[in-house]
Amino acid sequence: MRLAFFGGIYNNHLALATAIADARSRGVDAMWCLGDLGAFGPHPDRTCELIRENNISVVQGNYDHSIGHGLNDCHCGYTDPRDNHFAQLSYDYTLAHTSDDHRAWMRSLPAQQRLEINGLRLLLCHGSPRRTNEFLWESTTNTQFLARLCDDFECDVILGTHTGLHWTRSSDTGSGVFFRPPSPIHQVKLNDGGLKKTPDPFAFINVGVLGRPENDGTTNVWYTLLRTGNDVRGGRSPLPWEVEFVPLAYDHEQLAREMQDERLPDEFIETILTGWWTTCLEVLPSKERTRGRW
Amino acid sequence: MNVTEQRLPIIELGSLDELWFQVAGTRCNLTCSHCFISCSPHNDSFGFLSFAEVERRLLEAVEWGVKEFYFTGGEPFLNPELVAILERTLDFGPATVLTNGTVLKPEWLDRLRAAEQGSLYSLEFRVSIDGPTPELNDPIRGPRTFERALHGVELLVQFGFLPIITMARVWDESQDAEILGRFRAVLHLHGYDRPRLKVLPRLLLGAEAKRTCGYSASDRVTAEMLVGYDTTQLVCQHSRVITDRGIAVCPILIDSPDAILGHTLHDATRGFAVTHGACATCYQYGAICTNPSSRSPDAHVRTIDRT
């Protein structure tokens, strides 16, 4: 099987349309979106229409939950007043420009989705399986913790988004210190009790986002292809799946023009045109923050 | 179980996400007048943790799937093994060290820079400075500590770190925006062009209880207040602290006898009655000990009725 996973769209309907065409050209069997359809960009309804017209299944993100229920803010999980200021601007814009029909549809979206494909148990979520708006950053999430999540939620692969940065870690590529016993606190949940001497392979995949570039000075955005079964192309990975992060160029200058026409903040437009984040930076851990310009 | 026990506000350990190390015990080169565990050059209530002890606990933590490791004191860099301890920790996961920034040496930072670059994980420095001027900071932290801590920040920036400047709110909460703005300007002048700032509420324990006032009897969390409350906001729901006297429930209460829960992680997983005044501060503000990247305060943290 070949599956395409799109992370936060953030109203970037131009990137979404390009991603759908790109994924189709690669012969994917299905497309999924892991939530946060709104925020940041222009014309929220255009994103919703594209998602629904193309039968893309969606997991509800914190943004979709908030917009769907008409809450006061996005519950993105920011801590800094400046971050919250900009988050509120895009939230108010998105709420005001999302139709009632799309909002009702957002309310109906599932918070998680489980898939069983080629014997693999996939868990699709937005932030983490235990909290929709939990940030799982590459540099602050260790391999043992990911193993525990897979044990606790009885799955082999967890897919999420929310942070805006794609990354993956598996039992094959983790840190030098690793083994995968059932953690004592949850041992009671397991039937076999003792330590597993031959750990089952597992992975966490942050699929990236289509909504804005990745704070690396390039204007492209990212989505993720997952291959399983006979579609695994082989090579070095001994894992029964294969992850490919796809950089996607789209008409970002047209997006910037639309954002200007909608009077969205100059700071957001700068990010689209330069590839550097200018807002919502204070939640980044040091490694991720150091890689950016601001 | 009698009626009184039933009404205790017990918080169970939901998920052991963070393991703290009281790595310098209560020994500090400074004697801050607001320190909630009264650290000083002469406070030996808690001792240093050795490299071997920390490593043993890191291995124990693997089994638990602990996500992050925090190092505090006292002043962690008084522990002569700290650099080696942090280097080893970065094999296991992300590390955060809470320092006053006044004793940092370039050769240590050189090693730690290399250790972080060779690791999957972040090494965070949280540097305590209580305000953007010596006039605000020094009466609390001691003469010339503002200047010395800023020198430490300059060193960290020179070595490529982005320290989180952590301040106890020794001003009125309504002044937060103004103080933070002034702090950013000062840090820019010292070469730190993208400062990261974290404000902590004061904890009315230890030296701070003598400096201002302690908690009143009404500053308490009750079982009723926990109904509908997101208990993941409380440190004791997701953390434990390794000290040389046992494993404590949280970094704030180590001086309280009931806060030492046992000597193995397994012993220390039992629930804790959040009956201290500081528990009310934790309840009110949420996520006060962890880094902003790891756990954000709930948008709807509760206020304490102080009537």
Binned at pLDDT 50, 70 and 90, residue B303 comes out as very low
Please tell me the predicted confidence (pLDDT) of residue A237. 61
CB A183 within 8 A of CB A151: yes
Binned at pLDDT 50, 70 and 90, residue B296 comes out as low
Exposed / middle / buried, residue B276 (Cβ in 10 Å: 0-12, 13-18, 19+): buried
CB B109 within 8 A of CB B155: yes
CB B304 within 8 A of CB B226: no
Q: Which residue has the higher pLDDT, A183 or A58?
A: A58
Mean pLDDT over B7-27 rounds to: 95
Q: Check whether A46 has a pLDDT greater than 90.
A: yes
Please tell me the predicted confidence (pLDDT) of residue A168. 94
Instruction: Identify the DSSP state of A184.
Output: G
* Closest in A73, A130, A283 to B293, CB measured: A283
Q: Which residue has the higher pLDDT, A196 or A34?
A: A34
The residue count for chain B: 307
Question: Which chain B residues are Cβ-neighbours of A80 within 8 angstroms?
Answer: 197, 292
- Say whether residue A57 is in contact with chain B using an 8 A CB cutoff: no
Question: Which chain B residues are Cβ-neighbours of A175 within 8 angstroms?
Answer: 91-93, 119-121
Tokens matching residue A188: 């009671």
CB A140 to CB B61 under 8 A?
A: no
Please tell me the predicted confidence (pLDDT) of residue B77. 98
CB A81 to CB B65 under 8 A?
A: no
Q: Check whether B281 has a pLDDT greater than 50.
A: yes
* Most distant CA atoms of chain A, gap in Å: 61
Binned at pLDDT 50, 70 and 90, residue B288 comes out as confident
Please tell me the predicted confidence (pLDDT) of residue B295. 66
CB B294 to CB A140 under 8 A?
A: yes
| pLDDT tens digits, one per residue of B48-71 | 999 999 999 999 999 899 999 999
Instruction: Provide, rounded to the nearest whole percent, the portion of chain B with pLDDT above 90.
Output: 83
The pLDDT mean for chain A works out to: 90
Q: Is residue B131 part of a domain?
A: yes
Please tell me the predicted confidence (pLDDT) of residue B286. 82
Q: Is residue B136 part of a domain?
A: yes
| pLDDT tens digits, one per residue of A77-92 | 887 788 889 999 999 9
Exposed / middle / buried, residue A126 (Cβ in 10 Å: 0-12, 13-18, 19+): buried
Q: Check whether A42 has a pLDDT greater than 80.
A: yes
CB A140 to CB B68 under 8 A?
A: yes
Q: What angle do CA A122, A16, A64 make, to 5 degrees?
A: 65
Q: Is residue B77 part of a domain?
A: yes
Residue B135 domain boundaries = 15-217+237-273
- Report the distance separating Cα A253 and Cα A236, nearest Å: 39
Q: Is residue B284 part of a domain?
A: no
Cβ contacts of residue B238 below 8 Å, gap of 6+?
A: B13, B14, B15, B16, B17, B18, B232, B295
Task: Flag whether the ipTM exceeds 0.95.
Answer: no
| pLDDT tens digits, one per residue of A17-33 | 999 999 999 999 999 99
Q: Check whether B153 has a pLDDT greater than 70.
A: yes
Q: Check whether B265 has a pLDDT greater than 60.
A: yes
- Window from A70-84, B103-117, B157-171 with minimum mean pLDDT: A70-84
- Report the distance separating Cα B249 and Cα A168, nearest Å: 33
Q: Is residue B226 part of a domain?
A: no
* Closest in B65, B93, B196 to A282, CB measured: B196
Mean pLDDT over B155-163 rounds to: 98
Q: Check whether B86 has a pLDDT greater than 70.
A: yes
CB A141 to CB B67 under 8 A?
A: yes
Closest CA in chain A for residue B287: A79
Instruction: Provide, rounded to the nearest whole percent, the portion of chain B with pLDDT above 70.
Output: 94
Q: Is residue B298 part of a domain?
A: no
Q: Check whether A250 has a pLDDT greater than 50.
A: yes
| pLDDT tens digits, one per residue of B172-211 | 989 988 999 999 999 999 999 999 999 999 899 998 898 8
Q: Check whether A180 has a pLDDT greater than 80.
A: no
Q: Is residue B9 part of a domain?
A: no
CB A144 to CB B61 under 8 A?
A: yes
- Say whether residue A83 is in contact with chain B using an 8 A CB cutoff: no
- Say whether residue A285 is in contact with chain B using an 8 A CB cutoff: yes
The pLDDT mean for chain B works out to: 92
Question: Which chain B residues are Cβ-neighbours of A135 within 8 angstroms?
Answer: 293-294, 296
Tokens matching residue B104: 């940092």
| pLDDT tens digits, one per residue of B134-144 | 999 999 999 99
Q: Check whether B125 has a pLDDT greater than 80.
A: yes
CB A15 within 8 A of CB A211: yes
Interface A-B: count of C-beta contacts within 8 A: 119
Please tell me the predicted confidence (pLDDT) of residue B302. 38
CATH of the domain at B71: 3.20.20.70
Domains of chain A: 2-291 (3.60.21.10)
Instruction: Provide, rounded to the nearest whole percent, the portion of chain A with pLDDT above 90.
Output: 80
Q: Check whether B1 has a pLDDT greater than 70.
A: no
CB B28 within 8 A of CB B72: no
Q: Which residue has the higher pLDDT, A78 or B22?
A: B22
Mean pLDDT over A213-238 rounds to: 89
Three-class DSSP category at A122: strand
Can you list the alpha helix ranges (DSSP code H) found in A26-155?
A: 44-53, 62-69, 81-96, 100-107, 143-152
CB B62 to CB A184 under 8 A?
A: no
Q: Is residue B208 part of a domain?
A: yes
Number of domains composing chain B: 1
